[in-house]
Structure 1
Amino acid sequence: MCGRATIITPAVELEKRFNAAFAKGAVLQENVNISAGNKIPVITSAQPNHIQMFILGYTPHWAHKQTYMINARSEGSLNPENSTTYKGAMGIFNKPMFRHAIKSQRCLVLVDAFIEGPKQEKLNKPYLVYPNRDRGPFALAGIHDTWQHPLTGELHHTVAIITSAANRLTERIEHHRAPVVLSRADEEKWLNPDISVQELTRMMQPFDSKGFNAYPISQKIKKPEANGLELLKPTGDKLFKDYDRCLYERLKFAEEDEYVIREERLVEGDQFVLF
Structure 2
Amino acid sequence: MCGRYSFSKSKVQIEAELGVSLEAEGELIHNYNIAPTQQTYVISNQRPGALQLFQWGLIPSWSKDPKMGGKLINARAETVMDKPSFRTSIRQRRCLVLADSFYEWKKEGKEKTPFRIFPRNGELLVMGGIWDTWKGEGKVIHSFSIITTGPNQEMIPIHDRMPLVLPGREAQKLWLEEKDPAAIAEMLHTPGDWILDMYPVSDRVNSVRNNGVELQERVG
Per the TM superposition, whether the score is higher than 0.5 is yes
Q: Which residue of 2 aligns with 1:64?
A: 64
Whole-Å separation in 2 of the counterparts to 1:123 and 1:59:
33
Task: Tell me how far 1:193 sits from its aligned partner.
Answer: 4.3
Q: Does 1:159 align with 2:147?
A: no
| Displaced runs of 4 or more, over 2 A | 15-18, 25-28, 118-124, 196-199
TM, length-normalised to structure 1: 0.73
Task: Tell me how far 1:16 sits from its aligned partner.
Answer: 2.9
Q: CA RMSD in A?
A: 2.0
Q: Which residue of 1 aligns with 2:189?
A: 205
Matches within 5 A, 1:90-239: 92-118=80-106, 124-134=112-122, 136-148=123-135, 150-151=136-137, 153-173=138-158, 175-184=159-168, 185-194=170-179, 196-236=180-220
Over residues 33-92 of structure 1, what are the superposed CA-to-partner deviations in whole Å (9 max), with x where a residue is unaligned? 11112122111111111111111111111111122221001112xxxxxxxxxxxxxxx2
Whole-Å separation in 2 of the counterparts to 1:126 and 1:98:
29
- Shift in alpha-carbon separation, 1:213–1:231, aligned structure 2, 3 A: same
Greater relative CO (CA pairs within 8 A, separation 6+): 2
Greater Rg over alpha carbons, structure: 1
Q: Gaps (5+ residues) in structure 1? A: 77-91, 237-275
> Structure 2 counterpart of 1:129, which letter?
I
Whole-Å separation in 2 of the counterparts to 1:213 and 1:2:
16
Whole-Å separation in 2 of the counterparts to 1:29 and 1:222:
21
Count of residues paired in the alignment: 215
How many percent identity over aligned positions? 32
Whole-Å separation in 1 of the counterparts to 2:10 and 2:216:
17
> Structure 2 counterpart of 1:47, which letter?
R
Q: Gaps (5+ residues) in structure 2? A: none
Look up the SS of the partner of 1:21 in the other structure.
coil
Task: Tell me how far 1:123 sits from its aligned partner.
Answer: 9.6
Whole-Å separation in 2 of the counterparts to 1:147 and 1:122:
39
